[in-house]
Amino acid sequence: MSGKDPELSRLGEALSSARSAYAEAKKITDEAKARLNETGSRIQTFNAKITELKKGIDSEYNAMRSERAGGDRDAADEHRSMAQSMQEKLTEIYESKKSCFGELDEARAAFNKALNAQKILRDKVQEAWDGFNARLEYLKEENAKEQAKWKEKPCKICGVPIRYNTEWKHIPNLCKECFDKDKENWEDRKCAKCGKTFRINKGWEHIPTICGDCRKIVRAEKSARMQAEKEAQEESARLAREEREAAASALVDVANEAVSEIAPALEVSENVRNI
């Protein structure tokens, strides 16, 4: 990865803004939750007070009944009025509790709404994460591919490793230092054959006197000459063979002739012996 990838930067920014939107939504949910809890605990406090008052009312009425049975009217009246004032208090608390239920419904609705918004934003954070990670993986792969294209080979003069990319059109054979030194070794020469200017390197073992084009022509001529020589050699070998064959067959003819001349003579000599 040379430099920063603009697409990765863009995805990184999208991720961080998704995260801060999520954090904001979470804050709202937390506040709504606190309000819901607070309302809920207020209702519980009312419930505890209601239970307590109901118990108090019951015990005041019980006391009233036992005082009445005992004939103490004043005491009985006192207990009844206590029970009545408790009943009034209870009615008040019921009213407060009722309005608190309205608040509870509101708080619950607000909490649910905030929670939904938070969930949507959580999914968006996940999406942004996935996008960011996918790009990062892609870049890592690309980077590995790019790294694989980089190779090393030794400088042809001093042997220090040269780093090169396999996709370069011209892969250097020399290190930077040797290349610069070598540049001074290059010189213009005039072709001995066609007069054209060509470059030679003073470090070469064999410094040509003719240009590349002329060298090509010379090489072509040489190979044509060699081909002609080869053909001439083959031709003379063929002629020599034919000559040898002709000589051999002439020899056979002479021999046959000699035999046919000798044969009658032999016959004659046989006859002579028989006489």
158 sits near Zn ion (criterion: CB under 5 A): yes
Residue 204 CB, nearest approach to Zn ion (Å): 17
Residue with tokens 């036992």: 66
Taking the least distance from each CB to Zn ion, the nearer of 86 and 175 is: 175
Kindly identify the residues of this chain, within the stretch 168-207, that bind Zn ion according to CB under 5 A.
175, 178, 191, 193-194, 196
CB of 216 to Zn ion, least distance (A): 9
Q: How many CA atoms lie within 13 A of 138 on its CB side?
A: 9
What is residue 111's DSSP assignment?
H
User: By the 8 A CB rule, do 182 and 203 touch?
Assistant: yes
Residues 203-232 that bind Zn ion (CB under 5 A): 210-211, 214
DSSP 8-state assignment for residue 156: T
Interface pick for Zn ion out of 157, 172, 181, 208 (rule CB under 5 A): 157
Looking at the Cβ atoms of 19 and 189, the one nearer to Zn ion is 189
Nearer to Zn ion, 180 or 231 (CB): 180
Q: Which stretch binds Zn ion (CB under 5 A): 61-69, 153-161, 229-237, 252-260?
A: 153-161
Structure token pair of residue 164: 């090169």
Q: What is the DSSP letter of 155?
A: -
Torsion sign over Cα 13, 17, 18, 22: positive
Helices (H) and strands (E) in the chain, counts: 4, 4
Q: Which is nearer to Zn ion, 139 or 174 (CB)?
A: 174
The C-alpha atoms of residue 223 and residue 229 are separated, in whole angstroms, by 10
List residues binding Zn ion (CB under 5 A). 155, 157-158, 175, 178, 191, 193-194, 196, 210-211, 214
